[in-house]
Every structure is written in C-alpha cells, then in structure tokens.
Amino acid sequence: MRSLRNTPAGRVAYCGMLTALAMIFSYVESFIPLNFGIPGIKLGLANLVVLTGLYYLKPGEVFMISICRILLTGFLFGSGMSIVYSLAGGILSFLAMLFLVKRQLLSRIGVSAVGAVMHNFGQILAACAILRSFALIYYLPALIVSGVVTGVLMGILSGYVAHVLR
C-alpha cells in the first residue's frame, strides 16, 4: 500500500501542514525583538521549513510552500509592500538554496547562510527598484553579517530537525 504522503491528496495535505507551520513560525518570529538599529533583521524561522523541505520534498512543493507562506502571512499580518519585499527575497533565497542543495556544494549550515544572505539581498534589490535609488545598498554589509549569523543558527536547527526525521 502506498504511503498517504505519496498520493496526490496526501502530498497536498502534507504541503498544507508545512505551509501552516511556516506561517506559525513567521507569526511567532514577529514577537521576537531583534533591534540592532537596522530595520528588517529577523531570525528567519520560516526558512527552517523551506531549508529542511529542500532535503525531503520535491523542489516545486517547497517553492509552493514558500510562496503560499509569504502571500498568506503578508495578507494576514503585513501589507502589499511587505509581500513584494518578501517575495523578492524568498524567491532569490529559494533559487540559491536549491542550486546549492542539488549540487551538494555546501553543508546544510552553509546552504542556510547563503539563503539568508540572498533573502536580504533580494529585499534590498526590490527596495532599490521600487524607490529608484541605490542608497539602500549601504544596508547590505550589516544585512550580510546578520544573514550569515541567523542563517547559521537556522542551519544548525535544521540539522537537529533532520536528525529527528531520520
């Protein structure tokens, strides 16, 4: 008998649960005060679902989980602009992490750190395009450092999750 997760309905349900989990992580993260004088620094807890999913699910499923989480969280708790910035960062981050996972170029921690940095980079690019100014590029060094730190933390946490899933 096929596993429920391997049926079309089972995969949809599984992806729905992971989307809900990522949304919960996003919501919980909004209560964690990280104030380093630079707006936009976050832990990236929802990225834990995407990162871990890249090792266990089909890329298209992980991409849809990420996009659904961004759209639903944005509509429920954010704004139109937060959706645009999150989509820019989320898509760029997903593509970078997918590339690294498929090529097995970095460890899970490295993949997570690159994903976090690319998320920040995507958001800055979106903001520069919307504002038609490159002045925000000055935020990049601080966002790169914070992305590496939070990415490493999420990569370590994803390793623990992978250990439990085994």
pTM comes to: 0.92
Where residue 3 falls among pLDDT bands split at 50, 70, 90? low
What per-residue confidence (pLDDT) applies to 8?
Answer: 87
Instruction: Tell me the average pLDDT across 10-14.
Output: 88
* DSSP, residue by residue, 57-118: S-HHHHHHHHHHHHHHHHHHHS-HHHHHHHHHHHHHHHHHHHHHHHHT-S-HHHHHHHHHHH
Range of the domain at 114: 4-30+38-165
**Number of other residues whose CB lies within 10 A of the CB of residue 99:** 12
Task: Tell me what percent of the residues of the chain surpass a pLDDT of 90.
Answer: 75
Average pLDDT (12-25) is 93
- CATH of residue 19's domain is 1.10.1760.20
Please state the rounded mean pLDDT for residues 1-10. Answer: 71
**Which pairs with CB-CB distance under 8 Å and at least 24 residues apart come from 54-62?**
54/97, 54/98, 54/101, 54/111, 55/101, 55/108, 55/162, 56/165, 57/15, 57/18, 59/98, 61/11, 61/15, 62/94, 62/98
- Residue 129 above 50 pLDDT? yes
User: Does 138 score more than 70 pLDDT?
Assistant: yes
Q: What pLDDT sits at residue 153?
A: 96
Q: How many domains does the chain have?
A: 1
pLDDT digit string, tens, across residues 104-125: 999 999 999 999 999 999 999 9
* 18 close to 53: Cβ distance less than 8 angstroms: yes
Quote the pLDDT of residue 36.
67
Q: What is the pLDDT of residues 141-162, one digit of tens each?
A: 999 999 999 999 999 999 999 9
Q: Predicted confidence band at 84 (pLDDT cuts at 50, 70, 90)?
A: very high
- The CA R_g of the chain, rounded to the nearest whole Å, is 16
For the segment 67-84, the average pLDDT, to the nearest whole number, is: 93
User: With 60 as the cut, is the pLDDT of residue 1 above it?
Assistant: no
pLDDT, tens digit, 9 for 90 and up, residues 31-70:
887 776 777 788 899 999 999 999 989 999 999 999 999 9
